[in-house]
Amino acid sequence: MALLINDDCTACDACTPACPNEAISAGDPKYSIDPMRCTECVGAEDEPQCKLVCPAMCIEPNPDWEESRDQLQQKYEQLHS
């Protein structure tokens, strides 16, 4: 499942450099996560790094984008091949 950034985002930019897939971009007024690039850090880390560094705790699962761990791993491998 990809992640999303909710309306509590303060646009602090802490999440952007933490993403190994470059899935996070600045928006107006909040940042956004590209579900085509988000693997919840599967393939790179043990847990989503954006969630770890977000001071507003505004990153949550995207209910419209369900994927298995295997699908997330495949996506990561395609992004980094």
> If one looks up domain 3-79 in CATH, what number appears?
3.30.70.20
> From first to last of its 81 residues, what are the pLDDT tens digits of the chain?
899 999 999 999 999 999 999 999 999 899 999 999 999 999 999 999 999 999 999 999 999 999 999 999 999 999 999
Amino acid 70: pLDDT: 98
C-beta contacts of 30-36 below 8 A and 24+ residues apart: 30/5, 30/6, 30/58, 31/5, 32/4, 32/5, 33/2, 33/3, 33/4, 33/5, 33/59, 33/62, 35/2, 35/4, 35/62, 35/65
The backbone region for 45, taken as left when phi is positive above 0, alpha when psi lies in -120 to 50, beta otherwise, is beta
Amino acid 28: pLDDT: 87
Is the whole model's pTM more than 0.85, yes or no?
yes
